[in-house]
Chains A and B, each alone.
Chain A
Amino acid sequence: MATRHGSHYEFPNLPLNGVSPGTNLLLTGPALGGTRELLLRLLLGEDGVLIVTADTGARKVLTAFEGVGGRIDRNRVRVVNCTGESGDGLGDIVASVGSPGDLTGIGIEYSGQYEQVYARGYDTVRTGIYTLTPLLVYSEDVRPVFRFINTVTSRIRTADGLGVCAIDPSAHDEQIVNSIAQPFDARIDVRERDGDLALRLQGLPDQPTEWTAVPPLS
């Protein structure tokens, strides 16, 4: 069943206004913890969901998605697991790629899963990539990573999807992060202090540009 929503992707229970279809967001924050939680919360809705996971196994990421209120429906939710960890027992909901360095394999599995979800009537799809950091670490040359990001963000943009890609800025040179940010429409910085999450957004109008508390999960 198609799940057409209005003209925006909405983010219930987050201090963000809706964004237009085709928007790509770069989420920058420390690895694990609040950054992963926020990425998964940005994927909540009735749209198709594709998660590319590069440093957390598929089973764990699906559990975490359920933990933030996500509903696992294999017609709607798919994972591309490139951690090298086994996704045995999860069936076709998970496609596995041997390494975060195999950008060709990740791209093909991502496109394949996208088409499977689309074919089931979900013509609006939220994509989460958690995180870009292993993709960069495993690539001796940054150019294939640019190619991968340009390819994925372009598909999201032209298919009226939503893209959310996380990166840990402390793991990379500032120039790399700034270059990586280029194809994204906005950058969301994530901060976690004493267990409290906050975010701020640069690049889109009518969004919080100052640090704004993220309500905890109820």
Chain B
Amino acid sequence: MLRLKRVGVSAELATVVCVDGNDETRTATIDALEAAGFAVRACSSVSEIEPALDDSVGCVVTAAQLPDGDGFDVVERVREHTPDCACVFFTEASPSELPRGGRDQIVEYVPRSVPNAHDRLGDVVSAAAAEVTQAAYPLPEDESERLAALAEYDVEALSALDAFERLTALITSHFDIDVAFVGLVDAHEERFVACEGANWRTLAREDTICTHTILTDEVMVVEDIREDPRFAGVDRLDELEIRSYAGARLTDGDGRALGAVCCIHGEPRSYTRAERDDLRRFADEVEEQLGLRRRLKDGGD
């Protein structure tokens, strides 16, 4: 259950965004990161950060003070775009001299004052870019292999399948619940390839219950979201009127977790053993369909 992980964007491919209003120190930082093998995008202010962000960015290195704000303003914008992107403060300022961030704006920090500071920054950025180091949720121990397995599926094509739509409609009527969905959990978000009873497309991974469901081979039931300390503080679930949850993990033939088939209700709800077994059977059906689509895709290549 517990072991080392190496997950997320590979170090070779990750792009680093460097945010520093001082031309001299920004150039020196970029030179050091490029020498370490990273592609680097430069920003000189908080306002420049959003256009610089895309899925290739694995880490953001920021100064503490910027012309139009501070490093925590950068962190706020980065995490709005990619909630689990690693952020590193690289600054002359000591911890006591740093601006005050929110209590949950956890970042890495490398002081420029230490010997070989650029080397130390390179070490921290290398780790940040090679792993999902600042995720606000637990990660499966085989996350890297799991994401590789998920990449074998054509998610767009799966989203167009009538079979999943029919199945989720059947699930809502079978359990007499508000919403049923088939969700695939990728590196940063859950994508709903079928959803009956709501019009959900994606949800940030840190807001999902399924990111916990994929850790277990048992059907996961949360009878009352507000009573479960893992989810009671997740405002997004409240906004979506999700009060109770049951989910069965989806795996491929090698046992890699891909996502989950889930029941959602707007009121607290329990699930009997028989209902859990039924949900597991629905998930088995989805797994068969996924396997079939995967074989068709492979055959067409």
Contacts and interface: CB of A to CB of B under 8 A. Distances in A.
B158 interface: no
9 contacts: A115-B114, A118-B114, A141-B234, A143-B206, A143-B233, A143-B234, A154-B128, A154-B131, A158-B124
Given A173-B228, A183-B138, 4 more contacts: A107-B109, A158-B127, A182-B1, A202-B2
Interface size of A as a range: 35 or more
Contacts of A130: none
B80 to A, nearest CB: 15
A144 B107 CA distance: 11
Nearest to A143: B136
Interface stretch (A8-16, A33-41, A49-57, A184-192): A184-192
A157 to B, nearest CB: 6
A104 to B, nearest CB: 4
Contacts of A102: 103
Nearest to A147: B136
Contacts of A143: 104, 136-137, 206, 233-234
A104 B139 contact: no
Contacts of A158: 123-124, 126-127, 131
B98 interface: yes
A182 B2 contact: yes
Interface size of B as a range: 35 or more
Interface string B85-116: 00001000011001001111111111100110
Interface string A102-120: 1111011101100110110
Given A115-B120, A179-B212, A107 B107 contact: yes
Interface of B: 1-5, 89, 94-95, 98, 101-111, 114-115, 120, 123-124, 126-128, 131-141, 206, 212, 215, 228-230, 233-234
B138 A146 contact: yes
B123 A159 contact: yes
Interface in A147-193: 147-148, 150-151, 154-155, 157-159, 172-173, 175-176, 179-187
A69 to B, nearest CB: 29
A180 to B, nearest CB: 8
